[in-house]
Amino acid sequence: MPSRPVRPARAAQAAALAALLLAVGTGCGGSDRAPTAEVAPQSTVGDRIGTLAVRTPEGPRACTASVVRSPGRNLLVTAAHCVQSHRIGLLDGLVFTPGYRNGYSPYGSWPVQSITVDPRWASDGDPEYDVAFVTVRPAGGREVEDAVGGNPLGTDQGFGLAVSVTGYPNERDEPITCSAHTRSQSPTQERFDCGGYTDGTSGSPWVTGAGVVVGVIGGYQEGGETPGTSYSITFDDRVTALYRRATD
């Protein structure tokens, strides 16, 4: 069985995609008993999660993103390293396709309009700020939240939460999902143990049983550089402030 690429390759891949566009005009399982992700069943709630790809749903993939509730009904959350390369800048030409599965886009695609990252990520890639909010343009006369709904954002929820994490590995054409409990990596970073989260799953939302997003794969080691563990920054006042900037 081929070994899993290290997570930082996802950021390098995103930078390479941006360079290509200019030229032509991301682990889990911290213990032997850790679960392994399985194919996510199709559901209307699960369809709030989708791919970030270049130009079209079938284009090269960057990461995973999900819809969160916002006044404009047009907001996604993902990892900052999914949408900004420090060598090139903000990635151009991304589209979000919620519920993408086996070449089928049940709701269509929404082109990215703007990206909000913390200045400390923009200046030096500080892993404490590896989260981004992305606004998308209307598609077919509808905002994305009107089409698929959105999950509320949760901050200051603490550790030890039961969550499900759903995302799109680059090598698969359908999403995977896994359920486990969050654990503290540091006071401002947390971890999630489950196998199968390879390149493309950066930005995957950590969703509680109440449907609240409390993390995204990213942060420490840009989400993790071993097969055993995925990370997220802790959703606290840093994320609250960034959300306010994105929705002002």
In a domain, 20, yes or no: no
Query: Which residue carries 């790809």 as its tokens?
Result: 53
Specify whether 168 is located in the same domain as 212.
Answer: yes
Q: Which two tokens stand for residue 191?
A: 């971890």
218 in Cβ contact with 79 (< 8 Å)? yes
CATH code: domain of residue 218: 2.40.10.10
Q: From the centroid of its chain, how far is CA 101?
A: 17
In a domain, 12, yes or no: no
DSSP secondary structure, 54-107, as one string: ESSTTS-EEEEEEEE--TTS-EEEE-HHHHEETTTEE--SEEEEET-BTTB-TT
Specify whether 121 is located in the same domain as 158.
Answer: no
What confidence score (pLDDT) does residue 223 get? 84
Q: How many domains does the chain have?
A: 2
Specify whether 143 is located in the same domain as 60.
Answer: yes
Specify whether 114 is located in the same domain as 204.
Answer: no
Residues near 225 by beta carbon (within 8 Å), at least 6 away in sequence: 6, 7, 8, 27
Q: Which two tokens stand for residue 58?
A: 């079938």
pLDDT in tens, the chain (248 residues): 222 233 433 444 444 444 433 332 243 333 446 789 999 999 999 999 999 999 999 889 999 999 999 999 999 999 999 999 777 788 899 999 999 999 999 999 999 999 999 999 999 899 999 999 999 999 999 999 999 999 999 999 999 999 999 999 999 999 999 998 999 999 999 999 999 999 999 999 999 999 999 999 999 998 888 757 899 999 999 999 999 999 99
Range of the domain at 177: 26-40+152-236
Specify whether 78 is located in the same domain as 128.
Answer: yes
In a domain, 13, yes or no: no
In a domain, 166, yes or no: yes
In a domain, 112, yes or no: yes
What confidence score (pLDDT) does residue 226 get? 72
Specify whether 137 is located in the same domain as 55.
Answer: yes
Q: Please choose, from the candidates 148, 213, 144, 224, the residue with its C-alpha nearest in 3D space to the C-alpha of residue 191.
A: 224
Overall pTM > 0.85: yes
What confidence score (pLDDT) does residue 35 get? 86
d(CA 48, CA 37): 19
What confidence score (pLDDT) does residue 45 get? 93
In a domain, 94, yes or no: yes
Specify whether 118 is located in the same domain as 170.
Answer: no
In a domain, 16, yes or no: no
Specify whether 160 is located in the same domain as 125.
Answer: no
What confidence score (pLDDT) does residue 95 get? 97
What confidence score (pLDDT) does residue 14 get? 43
In a domain, 165, yes or no: yes
b or e along 114-126 (b: 16 or more beta carbons within 10 Å of the residue's beta carbon)?
ebbbbeebbeebe
Specify whether 94 is located in the same domain as 163.
Answer: no
